[in-house]
Chains A and B, each alone.
Chain A
C-alpha cells in the first residue's frame, strides 16, 4: 500500500516539479512574485477544454492546446501586468500581481461558473500493474512526461544561447545587461517557457484528477510557491526537489492523515522549512555585503 502511495507521490511530485521549475524561472528573471502563475495555467486549461469540446480529446492535441493557450495567456499577463511595473516600488508590484490573480480567477468564475468541469483526455498509455501496485495511465504518463520535459528543459537551458542568457540573467541581472543581453526579450521568453511548462502540468493534473475547477489556480499556485520556496527560489534542481517534497507531503498526508488537513500540513511544513532554512534547501544564502 505504501509503495502505491509513493508511486502516486512521484507522479504528483513530478508535476509540481514542472510547475515549480516554470515558476522559479520566471521568478529568477523577474524577481517578483508572480501570483497569477496558477491562475494562468487553469484558465489556459479551461480555454483549451472549451475549444476542443466537440473535437477529439486526443492526448497530443490537448497537450498542444494547453501549451498554446497557457503560453499566450502568460505572455498577455507579462505585457499587461508586469511590464508596467518595471520601475515601481516593490509593494505596488506585489499588489498589482495579486490583483491580476483575482481578476483571472473571477473571470473564470464568471465565464464558466463555479461548478467543477470534467477533464477528459485519451491517454496513450494504459494502466499498469507491477507487482501489487496499480498505476493509472495518467500517473505513469505524468512521470514519463515530466522526465522528458526536464531533459528538454535542461538542454534548453544549458545548450542553447537563449537558455544561457536566461541563466545569466537569473544569476546577475546587471551583469547580463552589461553583456548585451536584451532583458525585455529574456523576460518574455522566460514567461513563455514558464507558462508552457505550466500548460504541460495542467494537462497532467487534469488527466490525473479528471476535473478542473475555478479556484484551482489559487490552491495550486500556493503550493507551487511553497515548492519553489522549499527547494530554493531561483534554483532549478531546488525546484525539482521542492516539487517532489510537496507532491510527497500532499499525497501522504491525504492518504494517511486526512484530505482536509493535507493542505494545512503542507503549509505548516513550508513555515517550518522557512524558519529552519529560509533560503530553501538548495537556495543560496544571499550574503549581505556590508
Chain B
C-alpha cells in the first residue's frame, strides 16, 4: 500500500525504543533526565503539528513559537486568575490559539514562499512584543503561579507523573496527525505542496486546504503550549521568541520533514545534545547554529531518512512524505 505511513517502523529498533520510553521513570536515573524527556515530549508535540504545515503542506512559517506562547499564556492566565482545571485550560488554550491562527492564516496565506516566511516572522515578532509589553501578561517577568495539573482527581506534581502526562499529550497529537496524513485531507495537503495549480485542477480547494493546515498546526502548538505551562508552572516570553521559532524549524528539518518519527528525532537531538555536552548556555545557540549549518546539508532528508538496519535508501522510490527540492 503506497499511502500507509506505518506508525511503527518494521525495524525492531523502534520497538526497543518504545519500550524504553515507557519504562524510563522506573529506571534509576537522575531526575533531570526525566524532566528533559518531558520537555522533549512537549516540544515533539509542537514539531509534529508543525510538520503538518511545513512538511506535508509545504508552507514554511516561523510563527510557531508565537502560537505555542498563546496557548501557554492562555492556560496560565486561566489557571492563575480563574482557577480553571487542566482540562478546561487545555480545551480553551487550543481553541483560542486555533481561532487566532485561523484569522491570521486567512489574511496571510495567499502569500507564497519567502513572502509567507516574512509575514509569519512579522507575526511572531508582534505576538512576542505584545507578550513582553502588556501588563496582563506580566511583561518581561512572565507569569508564575500556575497550579499543578489535575485530571480525574489525580494531581500530576511528581516528575514521573508529569512525564507520563506529557507523553500522553504527545501520543494524542501524533495520533491526530497520523490520522490526518493518511486521509484525503492529508493527501490534499501533499498535493498542494507539490503543485498547487495542479491540485486546484484536480478539484482540491487549495485555499481552504492551506487554511486548515495552518489552523490545525496553530491549534496543536497551542495545545502543546498548555502542556508546557502546566509543566513549568511558569511562562515567560523567552520561550516564544522568533529565535525559538527558528529553532523549531531546525528541529523539524534536522529530524526529517514529512515523516512521523522525524519531529521526535529532531527535538531529541537538539535538546539532548547540549545537555550531554554540558556546555554553558552560552554555547547552546552556537551549537544549534552549527547543527543547522552543518547537519542540514549533510542529510537533506533529516535524521528520519537515515535507515537503521535496512540496506541504503530506496533510490528513486518516494512516498507521500518526502519533499523534493522546490524553490519557494
Q: Please tell me whether chains A and B touch each other in their complex, using a CB distance cut-off of 8 A.
A: yes
Binding site for B on A (CB under 8 A): 31, 33, 81, 84-85, 87-92, 94-107, 109-110, 218, 222, 225-226, 229, 233, 260-261, 263-264, 267-268, 270-271, 274-275, 278-279, 288, 290
Shortest B285–chain A CB gap in Å is 5
Chief secondary structure at chain A's binding surface: helix
- How long is the Cα–Cα vector from A233 to B297 in the complex, in angstroms? 26
Stretch in B25-33, B70-78, B104-112, B216-224 touching the partner: B104-112
Mostly, the B contact residues are: helix
- Residue contact A267 to B297, C-beta cutoff 8 Å: no
Check A98 against B250 for contact (C-beta < 8 Å). yes
Within 8 A of A (CB), among B86-135: 107-108, 110-112, 114-115, 117-119, 121-123, 125-126, 129-130, 133
Out of A95, A226, A268, which one reaches B254, CB within 8 Å?
A95
Tell me the minimal C-beta distance from A282 to chain B in angstroms. 15
B130 to A, closest residue via Cβ: A264
- Inter-chain contact B129/A261, CB cutoff 8 Å: yes
> Contact between A89 and B325 (Cβ–Cβ < 8 Å)?
yes
- Cβ of B114 to closest chain A Cβ, rounded Å: 6
Report which residue of A31, A104, A267 has the largest number of chain B beta carbons within 10 angstroms of its beta carbon.
Answer: A267
**Residue B164 at the chain A interface, CB threshold 8 Å:** no
Closest chain-A Cβ to B127's Cβ sits at a distance in Å of 10
Q: Are A264 and B118 neighbours in the complex by a CB distance under 8 Å?
A: no
Q: Is the CB of B327 within 8 A of A96?
A: no
**Contact A89–B326 (Cβ < 8 Å):** yes
B299-328 contact mask (Cβ, 8 Å, vs A): 1 or 0: 010000000000000000000000111111
A-B contact pairs, 30 of them (CB 8 A): A33-B114, A81-B293, A85-B297, A87-B325, A88-B297, A89-B326, A91-B60, A91-B300, A92-B300, A94-B117, A94-B249, A95-B254, A96-B292, A98-B246, A99-B292, A99-B293, A102-B286, A103-B289, A104-B289, A106-B286, A110-B286, A261-B129, A264-B126, A267-B122, A267-B126, A267-B129, A271-B123, A278-B115, A279-B115, A288-B197
- Do B250 and A99 touch (CB < 8 A)? yes
Interface pairs A-B: 10 shortest CB-CB: A99-B292, A102-B289, A99-B293, A103-B289, A106-B286, A264-B129, A89-B325, A271-B122, A267-B122, A267-B125
| Residues on the A chain within 8 Å of B328, using CB | 90
How many residue pairs, one in A and one in B, have C-beta atoms under 8 Å apart?
Answer: 138
Residues of B within 8 A of A110 (CB): 282-283, 286
Q: Which of B112, B122, B289 contacts A278 (CB 8 A)?
A: B112
- Assuming the A-B contacts A91-B253, A261-B133, are A274 and B115 also in contact, with contact meaning beta carbons closer than 8 angstroms in the complex? yes
Cα of A115 to Cα of B75 in the assembled complex, Å: 36
CB distance from A181 to the nearest CB of B (A): 20
Q: Which of B119, B243, B257, B296 gathers most chain A CB within 10 Å?
A: B296
Tell me which residues across on chain A come within 8 A of B285, comparing CB atoms.
Answer: 102, 105-106
| Least distance between A131 CB and chain B CB atoms (Å) | 36
In the complex the two chains form, what is the Cα distance from A263 to B289 in whole Å?
25
By beta carbon, the residue of chain A nearest B249 is: A95
Cross-chain contact of B288 among A33, A81, A99, A107 (Cβ < 8 A)? A99
Chain A residue with the shortest CB-CB distance to B322:
A89
Contacts of A226 in B (CB 8 A): 118, 122
Which residue on A lies nearest to B292, using beta carbons? Answer: A99
Across-interface contacts of A31 in B (CB, < 8 A): 327
A106 vs B290: C-alpha distance when bound (angstroms) = 10
Is the Cβ of A101 less than 8 Å from the Cβ of B122? no
Is B291 located at the chain interface by the 8 A CB criterion? yes
- CB of B294 within 8 A of chain A? yes
Which chain B residues lie closer than 8 Å to A104 at the CB level?
289
B300 A89 Cβ-Cβ under 8 A: yes
Apart from A92-B300, A288-B197, what are 17 other A-B pairs with CB-CB below 8 Å?
Answer: A33-B117, A87-B325, A88-B300, A89-B300, A94-B60, A95-B292, A96-B292, A100-B289, A100-B293, A102-B292, A103-B290, A105-B289, A229-B115, A271-B123, A274-B118, A274-B119, A278-B110
| Residues of B contacting A85 in the complex (Cβ-Cβ under 8 angstroms) | 297
